[in-house]
A = this chain, B = another copy of it.
Amino acid sequence: MSQKIVVIGAVAAGPKSACRARRLLPDAEITLIDQDDLISYGGCGIPYFVSGDVADEKELRSTSFHMVRDPYFFKEAKGLNVRTLTRALSIDRNAKVVHVENVKTGEKDQIPYDQLVLATGSRPNMIPIPGKELKGVFTISSLHKAIAIKDLLAQGKVGKAVVIGGGAIGIEMAESLADLWGVETTIVEFMPQILPRIVDVTIASMVQQHLKENGVACYTSEAAQKFEGNEQGWVSKVITNKRELECDLVIVAAGVRPRGELAKEAGLEVSPSGAIVVNQRMQTSDPSIYAAGDCVETYNLVTGKKAYAPMGSVANRQGRVVADNLAGIPSRFDGVVGSFIMKVFDICVGATGISTEVAVSEGYRAVNALVVQSDRAHFFPTQALMFNNLIVDASDKRVLGLQGYAKMGDGLLARINAAASMIAAGARISDFSNLEMAYAPPFSTAVDVLNAAANTADNLVEGRLKTVSTEEFVDWMDGRSEHSDWMAVDLRHPKEAEPWAAAYPDKWMALVYDKVRANYKDLPTDKTLILICNAGTRSYEIQVFLRSVGLDNTLVLPGGLNVIRRLGVSWWR
């Protein structure tokens, strides 16, 4: 009698495990069920469908060779039994049966299994405030919701929108509304920065400024408290602790939580947050039942702690591991390092590993090196600046994370991907200094920006480089902090530096880089000198030189004015 495999959930991990199981176990009878009628779609593509970059939702459900992944496809091409509109009600682990019902007809049935795969996914969080049931308040929980939002946009019904949540999905949705559709869009983020716990505050501030320059306002440290509606019961206003925002559409992008109820009710081990607990073979506490995707808990490979990583890419890799184990191949999924990248209008931002904030909260002696450099040879015509922020443990020089901000393109991806496996493997700063990135002038620099970030991190940990944080410097310049005993020393070309010195005579002086060795005695010794250039490298050299002549009263502004320029400060000249 052939082995019976039942897979619950047909979006990402489910189809992946079912299809590979089909290839590895030609005799098995494999059944894939889902409560929806639209299955196997690229959920991460929803913002690009809403924006119009992707014209038809079918493209999100198609193979690269343009076949729609519908039940016909899974049956005829893949050789699976598929039952859509079929909800799993409960699992009888003794009888090895899944009880199901048809969501349209209510008809009940039971499906026997020898091995069961749970790929029940996640559901979006709705914030528990008054008005959350109003029409026009959406979460992005399925392709149906995306289609409904796009229909509203296409009908011209949305002039203003509020996105609750400044994480990746919130930002992507804000861009999709503002960019093509011209919707006046505001992001409200509860935490003090957007992309909280994903990137450090400096990078987040640069992204926030780029959003602003593209017409998307972001309010951080701000909480939506109430949604108000009009007479038709349609949302018309978001009231926060600081303001009222008129709108025709609200998108709540406040994270997702695992759908672990089915597993929990069947007596399987689930985490306090409801994620299904699996071992590294993706096996639940019942050896006949596997689980994968947004419904499971995993490990963070940097911290060694439990983690939740609801990502399509993770789901696919886990799905493959499930299939292998169903077929007796001992593949493992050990955890995640947290690789992330996203497009934000004309720039991109990415990360892997953990942020400085997370690292500090996890007990690391974390410091970060923010480095700005040309992404390719500075003489190559298409060069642009790339910002890399390397987070390291000063105790043992382990690299804990990397973040980047760059012109939209794949250049940042090249650094994030290179760092991902190394960080997961516990690489040290020296491994990054020596990392052999491919080099040719159209692609990179002889000392790649990632090598440079490692070298800078080493200088920082060894005390050769001493820095002021961008945020502290901005506070000083903005007059938000009391510091009369400092002076900015601008090392750039006099044509660049002197207008600043003239504008801020009490705070700013010009002394060009190549004249410091000759003229350093002109520098004040009774103040902290903030060394300023465009990128921070000249500043570092001058800091080292000044130390060698006994002047240790300097701090380097990391990334220099290239960072400041992207923050939208009022005193930019």
Contacts and interface: CB of A to CB of B under 8 A. Distances in A.
Contact of A443 (B341, B378, B433): B341
A396 interface: no
A443 B26 contact: no
B435 A420 contact: yes
A448 B313 contact: yes
A379 B54 contact: yes
A352 B433 contact: no
Interface of A: 12, 23-24, 26-27, 42, 44-45, 48, 53-54, 59-60, 62-67, 72-73, 76-79, 168, 172, 311-317, 320, 331-334, 336-343, 348, 350, 352, 373-375, 377-381, 408-411, 413-418, 420-422, 424-425, 427, 430-431, 433-444, 446-448, 451, 455, 464, 492-493, 513-515, 517-518, 533-535, 538, 541, 544-545, 547-548
Contact of A437 (B24, B334, B338, B339): B339
B313 A437 contact: yes
A362 to B, nearest CB: 19
B380 A48 contact: yes
B438 A76 contact: no
Contact of A436 (B65, B78, B424, B447): B424
A74 B45 CA distance: 52
A53 B380 contact: yes
A443 B348 contact: yes
Interface centre among A339, A446, A545 (most CB of B within 10 A): A446
Contact of A418 (B338, B418, B513): B418
Contacts of A442: 48, 342-343, 348, 408
A401 to B, nearest CB: 13
A63 B537 CA distance: 11
Nearest to A342: B440
9 tightest CB-CB pairs across the interface, nearest first?
A26-B548, A313-B439, A410-B410, A341-B438, A417-B418, A77-B514, A414-B414, A59-B379, A339-B438
Contact of A417 (B414, B427, B440): B414
A328 to B, nearest CB: 12
A421 B422 contact: yes
Contacts of A373: 64
A447 B414 contact: no
Nearest to A382: B53
A53 B411 contact: no
Given A23-B544, A23-B545, A339-B436, 12 more contacts: A42-B441, A45-B379, A62-B378, A79-B545, A172-B440, A313-B446, A339-B438, A342-B440, A348-B443, A352-B438, A417-B437, A418-B418
A48 B441 contact: yes
Contacts of A315: 446
A436 B352 contact: yes
Nearest to A492: B65
A378 B435 contact: no
Contacts of A441: 42, 44-45, 48
Contacts of A411: 410, 413
Given A23-B464, A414-B414, A514-B77, A439 B380 contact: no
A375 B420 CA distance: 18
Contacts of A413: 410-411, 414, 437-438, 443-444
A440 B48 CA distance: 11
7 contacts: A44-B377, A53-B381, A65-B493, A72-B514, A172-B440, A343-B440, A421-B421
A340 B436 CA distance: 9
B352 A317 contact: no
B54 A380 contact: yes
Nearest to A548: B26
Contacts of A340: 438, 440
Contacts of A42: 377, 379, 441, 446
Contact of A79 (B313, B341, B517, B547): B517
Contacts of A380: 45, 48, 53-54
A312 B79 CA distance: 53
A68 to B, nearest CB: 11
Nearest to A404: B438
A433 B320 contact: yes
B378 A64 contact: yes
A252 to B, nearest CB: 20
Contacts of A311: 439
Contact of A447 (B316, B444, B513): B316
A331 B77 CA distance: 56
A560 to B, nearest CB: 10
A314 to B, nearest CB: 8
Given A64-B378, A514-B76, A334 B410 contact: no
Nearest to A375: B410
Contacts of A336: 436
A341 B418 CA distance: 15
Contacts of A434: 317, 332-334
A424 B72 CA distance: 45
